[in-house]
Structures are given as C-alpha cells and as structure tokens.
Chains A and B, each alone.
Chain A
Amino acid sequence: MLEVRDITRRFGGLLAVSGASLSVASGEIVALIGPNGAGKTTLFAMISGFVAPDSGTVRFAERDITGMPPHEICRLGLARTFQIAQPFGRLSVRENIAVGAHLRIADRQDALRRAEAVACQLGMERLLDQPAAALTVAGRKRLEVARALATGPRLLLLDEVMAGLNPTELAEIVPVLRAIRDAGVTILLIEHVMQAVVSLAERVYVLNQGRMIAEGPPAQIASTSAVVEAYLGQGAAQRLGGRAVAGAMS
C-alpha cells in the first residue's frame, strides 16, 4: 500500500534522512524505531506531505504522492498524527473529531454523529463535551488518533502515540490500535516504547542518523547488532550478548 523509495532530505547542512526506503502492505501494523534525532518524524513529514523530499519517491495505493500537499494526501486516505499533540484547544472533543469527519461528510450533524462513533471506538465517550485543552496527555494522544481516524483513512501514520503514557494507559491503548487495524486500517507507527512495538508490530524498520539500518520482525531486530549499537553505542552488542538486549532497549 505504501512504498517509500530512496528518500532523502537535507536541512541546510544537516542530512536528516538519507536514501531511506520502506514499504507497508495493506492490513499490516509496521513500526519505525530508532534513537532520538534519527529522522523518523522527518520521514513521516515527507510521507504525509508536510515536507518535500529532496529526492526519492513516495507511492501510496499505486499513486505517486511525492511532494503532494498534506490535505490532498489526507484525502487520498493517508492520515497522520503529530508527535506533540495539536488539539483544537477551544473546541470540544466532539468538535475536534468532527473536523476530521468533515473530510468525507459535508453535513454538520452527520459529522458530529460520526465523531461520536469514532470517540466510542477509542473509548472516549465520557470526554466528548470536554474542551480539548482540558485533556491529559493520554487524552490528547487519543484525540490525535481519533481525529485522524475520523477522516476515514486507509493508512494511519501514528507518531509516538505512546510517549508519556503510564503502564495502565499503555495497556489500554494497545488493543484499541489493534482493533483499528482489524477494522481495516493499515498502521505505520513511530515508537520508542518497545513493549508496544513488540506486542503490536509485525515488522519493524530501524532508522539511525537518517539511514535505514535494519528491517524484520521485532524479535529478530532486537538482536541485530547494528540496532543495538545504534541505541547503545559501538561495541555494545558484543558486550551485552543477545538476550539482554531486548530488555535494555525498552
């Protein structure tokens, strides 16, 4: 469904992403991990149209979407969330989600009803009439997902949805995301929280300093030395040995 080929982006002197490629098939949950500053969010920004790549292509559902503006990409069915949640502060949760729903629905009342439905899907029924600015971090993250989901996407790009959640909140959101996939939405997520990656993702890509350094199922990735060294430094793989690594990274 999504095919990113050899994508590169420079910001002044900094090479943020260099020749990265990834693909996501319909119905998968794929994770993108990597240390801070690896370029993951920049990659998302290029896929979703907020930043144009210097070279390389992005294909979504058989279409070349490289460099298309974000709202058009969203209309084609690719929606993203932001790492730092961006709620419409003075609107209620319902009205927030309705903005997403309005992409496919013109009527106000219908959009508000769909917003309610999506909120229920994410367990947010009780928050519907609260102003978005009053939500906790976990609430805002969930709102990000709800809004994006309301646009009726085929592919959802989730940027660190788990960051800042406590173990209870984590345990709640993992099945919710799985349910979203089971309902027919493919998911590509950036994550730092390893237990979420391991329990959700079928495949994992690892980005380090702008380059894709590994790809494969989570268990295999955890023991790849290149990945360990990306997080823990050179020589760490040798010093640690295989088993301890997955624990060290989470």
Chain B
Amino acid sequence: MRVALVIAAVCAVALPLVVTSDFWLGFCITVMLSTLMGAAWNVLGGYGGQVSFGHAAYFGAGAYTAALLGMKLGVNAWVALVLAGAAAGLVGLLTGYLSFRYGLRGSYFALVTLAFAEVLRILAGTVDWSGGGVGLYLPLRAGAANLQFASKAGYYYVALALGAGAVLVGWAIQRSRLGAWLVAIRENEDAARALGVDTFACKLKAITISAALTGFGGAFYADYYLYIDPGIAFGPGVSVEILLAPIIGGLGTVWGPFVGALALQGAGELGRRLLGDAPGLSLVFYGVLLVVMVKFRPDGLIGMFGRFARQRPAHA
C-alpha cells in the first residue's frame, strides 16, 4: 500500500511534464478541486453523517473573501487564500452552532443549510459593495505571487496540494478519536451521548473543518476563473456538485472523494463527447448517477470494489 502511494504521489507531481495539453490539465485541476471540496463535505456528511445541502455557503464565503481581500484591501492572494478558509470556517462554525444548538438533524438540518446558502446568495446579490448581482471580476495580476500563473501547471500544483491536503485531513480524522466519535454520532447519536461523547462539540468541529476546507476551494476558484457572482458562489448547483463526488465515490472513506471526483468529471467528459455540449445534459447525467448510486450502491464506488471494501467507513 505504501509503495502504491509513493508511486501515485510521484505520478501526480510529474503529471504536468507528461500532460501538456491545456485541456487535460484543466481537467485534472477540476478533478482536484472537486476532490478538495468532496473531501471537505465528507468530513461532515460522510464521517459525521450530517448531510448538508448548502455547502455553497462556505464555498461562496471563501470565494468572496479571497476576491474582496485582494480587490479592496490589496491583500496578497496566498494570504487571502488562507484567510478565506478561516472566514469560511467561521461561517461554518456559526451555521453549525445555530443548527446543532437547536438540535437539527437529518432532513431538517439539510433544509436549514440550504436556507443559509440561499440567504447568503440573496445578500451577495443585493450588496453593491461586493459586486451585487453583477458579480466580481478579479483583476489580472500575472505572477505566481498573486496566485495567477502563466500556464495551467501552476494552478494544477496548487489544486493538487489543496486536494491532497484535504484527503490527508480525512485520513487523519479517520484514525483519530474525533473520527471514531463522529462515526458513532452518525450511527446513533443518543448512544454516543450515553458513552460520554460531547456530540455538540464534535459536530461543531466537523462542520468548521468542513467549511474551512470548502472555503479554500472557493478562494482557489476565484483566483483560477477570475470571475464570481452570487449564483456561481452560493447557488444550489454548487452545493449539489460538492456532495456528488463523495457520495459516488464512497461516504466516510479516505479515497472516496477522489475516486468520486475522477468518476464524475470523467463521466461528464465522456457524456460531453457522446452527446455534445447541450446545456443541461451533463447535469441530467449527474442526477441519474446520483439516484442510481444512492439506490443501488449507497456505499459508493469504493464499496463496490471488493478489495477496498475492506476499508469500511471509519475502520482503524
């Protein structure tokens, strides 16, 4: 297993040397971004069992924080990236505090997260200072110091680092006491409380970590695409795309988000080749995939493949 990891790491780092096409590098960047946010969602939804339909709130918080810090206060893009994660984490802490303090679970929790994201979307659309409905165009400031690279390779490495980092966080959680407690909460929250688990504190930690990581994704998105608006940042489409990867890949597993991201983006690309670039079709495909996976393979792709299936959710 160690050997396989090392080989994979070498391949990942050496990738831009082999893959020079802008298109495929862009594909890899998208996969890494999807992995980052999927792994983030997985912390709360996969290990913790709290399904959030509103992760766009944290994505958007990160995106807008990074963009505004850079545009209005001239903060360096890298510093802004870190601060964006912190800001998103704070939003997560706040929304989590409210939701968990009042005991929201299951569908009610999903609903309230959706509502929080929508509230932020509407606010972002009305506040002119942050671009209002028109959105923000990030200024072109070429140079690695500004997190803007001449070639896609630069972006790829940043995305790779973020994605790998998020997977690492998932791995660390899985082998930690927090992870064991989160999984216990997921399986049976009352039983967990009876065993001394401070479920409120655990869930708060999970949502804060999840939100912060997602915020990094939002910041990267802003620096990569150089344009955000309320719909792009806080829209329900974002929330859905974030949760698709870990669900398809395998909830509560370390590699699930990556496998899911790869499968999702790969299948999306395949769909585009076969069916053309018609609007909406790729999302139709994602929707069908979601229904099929949840109905027939709720343990995700990782659960389907025997060898890796041994790595059941929260296995030491």
Contact with B along A95-126 (1 / 0, CB 8 A): 10011101101111101100000000000000
Residue of A nearest to B190 (CB): A86
Which of B180, B198, B315 is in CB contact (< 8 Å) with A99?
A: B180
Contact with A along B213-227 (1 / 0, CB 8 A): 000000000000000
Complex interface: chain B residues within 8 A of A86 (CB) = 188, 190-191, 194
Check A147 for interface membership: any CB of B closer than 8 A.
yes
Check B234 for interface membership: any CB of A closer than 8 A.
no
B173-195 residues at the A interface, CB under 8 angstroms: 175-177, 180-181, 183-184, 187-188, 190-195
Interface residues on A, range: 35 or more
Complex interface: chain B residues within 8 A of A100 (CB) = 195-196
Given that A86-B188, A108-B316 are known contacts, is A148 also in contact with B176, CB under 8 Å in the complex? Answer: no
Which of B181, B194, B199 is in CB contact (< 8 Å) with A79?
A: B194
- Rounded to whole Å, the gap between the CB of B144 and the closest CB of chain A is 39
Whether the Cβ atoms of B177 and A71 lie closer than 8 Å is no
- Rounded to whole Å, the gap between the CB of A105 and the closest CB of chain B is 8
- Rounded to whole Å, the gap between the CB of A47 and the closest CB of chain B is 12
Residue of B nearest to A103 (CB): B196
Check B141 for interface membership: any CB of A closer than 8 A.
no
Whether the Cβ atoms of B184 and A99 lie closer than 8 Å is yes
Check A10 for interface membership: any CB of B closer than 8 A.
no
A60-108 residues at the B interface, CB under 8 angstroms: 69-72, 74-75, 79-82, 86-91, 95, 98-100, 102-103, 105-108
Whether the Cβ atoms of A95 and B314 lie closer than 8 Å is yes
Contact with A along B280-316 (1 / 0, CB 8 A): 0000000000000000000000000000000011111
A133-174 residues at the B interface, CB under 8 angstroms: 147-148, 150-151
Contact with B along A19-54 (1 / 0, CB 8 A): 000000000000000000000000000001010000
Number of A-B contacts defined by CB within 8 Å: 89
Whether the Cβ atoms of A112 and B190 lie closer than 8 Å is no
Complex interface: chain B residues within 8 A of A71 (CB) = 193, 195-199
Complex interface: chain B residues within 8 A of A147 (CB) = 191, 195
Complex interface: chain B residues within 8 A of A80 (CB) = 194
Given that A71-B199, A95-B316 are known contacts, is A106 also in contact with B194, CB under 8 Å in the complex? Answer: no
**Residue positions of A touching B, CB distance < 8 A:** 48, 50, 69-72, 74-75, 79-82, 86-91, 95, 98-100, 102-103, 105-109, 111-112, 147-148, 150-151
18 examples of A-B residue contacts, CB within 8 angstroms: A69-B193, A70-B193, A74-B195, A79-B194, A82-B194, A86-B190, A86-B191, A91-B314, A95-B316, A99-B180, A102-B177, A102-B180, A103-B195, A105-B177, A107-B177, A111-B180, A151-B195, A151-B196
Additional 12 contacts, C-beta under 8 A, given A103-B195, A105-B177: A50-B193, A70-B193, A79-B196, A80-B194, A81-B194, A82-B194, A91-B184, A95-B180, A99-B181, A111-B180, A147-B195, A151-B196
